[in-house]
Structure 1
Amino acid sequence: MQVVADEHLADVAVAAADVLGSPEDAITRAELLRRREAGEVTLVDVRPHEEYQAGHIPGAINIPIAELADRLAELAGDRDIVAYCRGAYCVMAPDAVRIARDAGREVKRLDDGMLEWRLAGLPVDEGAPVGHGD
């Protein structure tokens, strides 16, 4: 029974890595908070505008995943990008890593997402950013 379970778990791990990317692509909340405080990263929420407006990590820029490739130039080139989405198993942040990396940018994804951020009791902003055209 253990052998069968181990074989299936290995298959699940490989499938998850294919979809969610490598663990090396991720940073923890603690690392994000430290690097954001130091001004080392640009935080990008890749969820749709409506989800961003309902609640986002303070200081995050909203660029929905469908717009990211066309809007990467808007992001400061001297800071790494950290992308996040709905939660740990949301595929938009790993997709953002691939898109930004293909464009030559340094990028990580938050290892969890907005759901876990809220559950941890961390600050959440609501509404569109000032000057947002939507």
Structure 2
Amino acid sequence: MGEQSGQRKLFEQFASVAKALGHEYRLELLELVAQGERSVEALTQLTGLPVGTVSQHLQQLRRTGLVAARKEGKYVYYSLADDEVLELMASLRRVAQRNVAEVQRLVEQYFHDQTALDALSPSDLVERLRAGMVTLLDVRPREEYAAGHLPGAVNIPLDELEQRLQELPADQEVVAYCRGPYCALSIEAVQRLRDRGVKALRLEEGYPEWRADGFPVQ
């Protein structure tokens, strides 16, 4: 095998991974399984997609080594193959946001006000937590929180926030986080808290990125 031929075969395999990432449903599924192991049925409910569609996309992700699967009884559970997948997704996000005009426009539209733009870096959050300056709020669903969360975080899913505001200290700033940098849950939570006079920010990353960066989790 010539050097050029061997290199092209490697590129062919790299391209298969890139191709697996080339669908919005598969990127959404990766974000969801990054929160913790999920069954096909759970992912179907979360995405609103037909079970056959979810299963087909998961199989494509599995063939290219992006997710791992295990079977328990009649159910199949999926998880990220490793945290390098998160870094791959982060690189894709950064390149697209920096170089694709439509992505830049959508991000500006999505983060349409100062509430969305105010975000705390992980290192800044660590400093504030050590100083006891903030309350950490996880607004993901309970099962995602149970699978893993930031140490000391209070779990109040977004749809319960108004009814459980009394559980948050009135004299501390609240930092909300959810599934990832573009997750709407923390953005909406910060907006609702600010509307009720609570000083609030969001974490600029989500639980999976925090874990992959080596910060402690529970």
Which band: TM-score by shorter chain? 0.7 to 0.9
How far apart are the structure 2 equivalents of 1:107 and 1:38? Answer: 17
Alignment of structure 1 residues 39-54 onto 2, 5 Å: 39-54=132-147
Q: Percent identity?
A: 45
Deviations 1:66-124 (A, max 9, x none): 10111111111111000000111111000000110011000000001101011101111
- Is 2:102 the partner of 1:8? yes
How far did residue 9 of structure 1 move? 5.1
| More displaced 10-residue stretch of structure 1: 100-109 or 64-73 | 64-73
What amino acid is the match of 1:85? Answer: C
- Is 2:149 the partner of 1:56? yes
What amino acid is the match of 2:109? Answer: A
- Map of 2:203 onto structure 1: 110
Unaligned runs of 5+ in 1: 126-134
- Map of 1:98 onto structure 2: 191
How far apart are the structure 2 equivalents of 1:20 and 1:51? Answer: 28
State the TM-score, normalizing by the size of structure 2. 0.51
Given that residues 140 and 157 in structure 2 are in contact (C-alpha distance below 8 angstroms), is that contact kept between their aligned partners in structure 1?
yes
1:34 counterpart (115, 118, 127): 127
Unaligned runs of 5+ in 2: 1-98
- Map of 1:22 onto structure 2: 116
1:90–1:22 Cα change, 3 Å: closer
What amino acid is the match of 2:152? Answer: G
Alignment of structure 1 residues 77-96 onto 2, 5 Å: 77-96=170-189
How far did residue 59 of structure 1 move? 0.4
What amino acid is the match of 1:45? Answer: D
What amino acid is the match of 2:142? Answer: H
Higher relative contact order (CA 8 A, sep 6+): 1
State the TM-score, normalizing by the size of structure 1. 0.82
Greater helix fraction, Structure 1 or Structure 2: 2
How far apart are the structure 2 equivalents of 1:117 and 1:6? Answer: 26
How far apart are the structure 2 equivalents of 1:7 and 1:71? Answer: 40
Quote the RMSD (CA, aligned, Å): 2.0
Given that residues 115 and 187 in structure 2 are in contact (C-alpha distance below 8 angstroms), is that contact kept between their aligned partners in structure 1?
yes
Question: In terms of Rg, which structure is larger?
Answer: 2
How far apart are the structure 2 equivalents of 1:13 and 1:51? Answer: 25
What amino acid is the match of 2:135? Answer: T
1:116–1:20 Cα change, 3 Å: farther
How far did residue 7 of structure 1 move? 5.6
* Runs of 4+, deviation exceeding 4 Å: none
How many equivalent pairs are there? Answer: 120
